[in-house]
Every structure is written in C-alpha cells, then in structure tokens.
Amino acid sequence: MQKQLLQGNQAIVMAAEAAGLKFFAGYPITPASEILHEMVSRKDIMVLQMEDEIASINAVIGASLAGLKVMTATSGPGFSLMQESIGLAHMMEVPLVIVNVQRVGPSTGMPTLPAQGDVIQCIHGSHGDYFPIVFYPNSVSELYTYTIMAFNAAEESMSPVILLSDGYISHLYETIVPHRDVEIRERSRLPLGMSNRHFTGLSHEDSMPKTSDVDNYRRLIAHLYEKQQVTARQYNHYEYRQCRKETDTLLIAYGALSRAAYYFKDDCALYRPVRIFPVVEEVKSIAPQYKRILVMEMNKGQYAHEIERILHREVECIPILGGRIDLDEIKQEIRQKMYE
C-alpha cells in the first residue's frame, strides 16, 4: 500500500472500512465529526445521522444484531448519553465499536481541546458490572491499526469495544501506510430473522428472561467476565522503554500525552499501555523495579487510581488539565516529582 497523509479521524474510517464496517450511525460532535463526514462518502457503508447519541448507539445495536459490523463515534457528552445502551449491548452480547474522541469536560467543557477525562467512564459509566475492552492508540498510524483490532476484539468477545482517541491525535495529520495484513474476524452468530431467539437486557438464561434466579445471574456475570478476559489476553498491547541511565522512576502515560512523555526517555523508564482496559498484567512485573511511579494524564488521576489498585502501592499523579500540552510545564512537573 502507498503512503498516505491522513488525519486521525480519517484513518479510523479507512481502518473501519478495511475491517468490514457496513453500518454507521452517529450524531455530530466536535472533535469526532470528521468521522461522520468521512463515512458518508463511503459507498458500501450505510450511514445514518440520528437525532442524538442515544438513538445512534441503539441503531447500531439493531444493525449489529441484524448481522452487520457496526460502529458509532462520539465525544464525551455523547458518550455519557450512550452509557445505558452500552450496558444493554454487554448484556445482549452485541459486537460493536464505539469511538470516543475525548475533549475537555465535565459538561460542554472545551469542545476543541483534547483531554483524557473519559477513561473511567469507559469502565464504570453504565450501571451494573460489565467489563469492556478499551484501546487507546497515540498516533494516526496506531489509530488505523487499533481500529481494526477493536473490530476483531468486538467479534471475538461478542461485546462493545471502545476505541479512545482525543482531540489531539484525531485532528493530527501524519503519514501512514494503511496495511491490510491483520486477519479480519467475521461474525460468529446468525443474524436476526433466522430463528426464534430472544435478546434481552434482563438477566437471562438461554436468552430467556430469568429475573429472580440469583445463581443464574452470578453465572451470567461470570460468563461475561471470563469472555472479556480471554479476549483481552489476545491483545496485550503496551510499550515499555527502559532508560539508558540508572533510574528509579517509571513514567506511565498513554494516548496523546504519551507522545510528550517520550521526551523524558533519558530521565526515566517509560510505560505506555495501548489496551488500557482491562489493565495489562505485565505492568505488575515491570513496576517493582522502580521506586517511584509517575502517572501523567490529561485528567485528575483516573488511570493513576487503576494503576494503584493493580499494583497495590502508591503512585504519583501528574494531571495535565485544560487541553494544553506544554513541554516546559510538563518538564517542570516531572522534575519536581523526581527530585523533590
């Protein structure tokens, strides 16, 4: 394939097409709108501009049950609206891909500036227990690769998979080589209209509602959890760079901000998760070599809490808020933490 200069959002659309996307429903929102714009020009993808994000996710749930590969794309406020139906899709085991191009929040926040504030919303936004797989690439080329992987992981786990991006990498232009060397997974379930199955968000057994059987509910949740864990293990993607110098600091960063973190490769070791949820287990074997763990992210410490929980030890958080990635500011923050 030839090299192409692509915007992050364009790369997502190209990759989705390569992965077999046939149905897209969405609602315009900055900074994710380019995905919708780009989609409408694709002849073999059915595109619906719905009345809101709730309708969008429900339309893709319907289309997915009808047998198509589906996707929707939004930003934080729209993602919040989708939460109830994300739970529904987990309960009904509907494969779909949700792209969340994050911007500064809460509420309308700063619509044109990047943030990483929806990280915890991915796993705790809907009610009840569910276990999504979440990818967060950090370049246009990676957006391409992980969009395809998100589709594959969705088909494998028969559940919604979230692809996180942010206003920074989605609006970035980079040269990439759109490759097609990843095997594309196909749907393993019959589409609607072929039998007499019932899909429900209620607790169920063999697809029929079972709302007062506690043991059955526990089996159902165990099944959903196990399925996600097995699939997630196929996608243990992360990046770990040891420092050439002796160092006792491990700097953890992901997504847009991890690009700024590379600047500190001579001062500390770097760890960048790409499949950010479930948290890649390898961090447990990497972390003990370092006395100090810094988690740098564009929120008030959402992933730092997850890392703390996984490692059972304290980590230090460097919140970079308001969408400004200023190297001098970050340098100051990191030096302060490292040498204080």
Partner 1 sequence: MNKETDFKRFLKLDLLPTPWCPGCGNGIVLKTICQVFDELDMPMKGTVVVSGIGCAGRSAGFFNLDSVHTAHGRAIPVAEGIKYANEALNVVVVSGDGDLLGIGGNHLLHAIRRKTDITVICYANEIYGMTGGQASPITPHNIKTLTTPDGNPDYPTDVQPLFRHNNSYFARTTAYHLNHMKKCIREALKFKGFSFVEVRTMCIVNYGRRLGYKNSNEMLLHYKEFYKINDSAGELAGNEIGIVKGLSQITDDR
Q: Are 127 and 208 in contact (CB under 8 A)?
A: no
Phi, psi angle pair for 330, to nearest 5°? -65, -40
Footprint (CB under 8 A) of partner 1, residues 21-40: 22-23, 25
Q: Does position 84 bind partner 1 by CB under 8 A?
A: yes
| Residue in the block written with tokens 């897209």 | 24
Helix (H, G, I), strand (E, B) or coil at 165: strand
Cβ 89 to partner 1, closest distance in Å? 10
The residue among 46 and 338 lying less far from partner 1, judged by its C-beta, is 46
Q: Does position 195 bind partner 1 by CB under 8 A?
A: yes
The torsion angle over the Cα atoms of residues 46, 277, 79 and 7, rounded to 10 degrees, is: -60
Footprint (CB under 8 A) of partner 1, residues 280-339: none
Say how far apart CA 287 and CA 242 lie, in whole Å.
11
Say how far apart CA 22 and CA 38 lie, in whole Å.
14
- The token duo for 337 is 């933490």
The closest of 100, 94, 220 to 157, measured between CA atoms, is: 94
Among 197, 219, 223, 335, binds partner 1 (CB under 8 A): 197
Q: Does position 217 bind partner 1 by CB under 8 A?
A: no
- The token duo for 211 is 């709302």
x/- track of binding to partner 1 for residues 134-173 (CB under 8 A): ----------------------------------------
Element spanning 141, H or E: helix 140-157
Among 5, 40, 66, 177, binds partner 1 (CB under 8 A): 66
Cβ 197 to partner 1, closest distance in Å? 5
- The token duo for 202 is 């209620």
Among 85, 147, 170, 299, binds partner 1 (CB under 8 A): 85
Cβ 128 to partner 1, closest distance in Å? 12
Among 18, 46, 310, 325, binds partner 1 (CB under 8 A): 46
* Contact positions vs partner 1 (CB under 8 A): 22-23, 25, 46, 48, 50-52, 54-56, 58-68, 70, 84-85, 87-88, 92, 191-202, 208-209
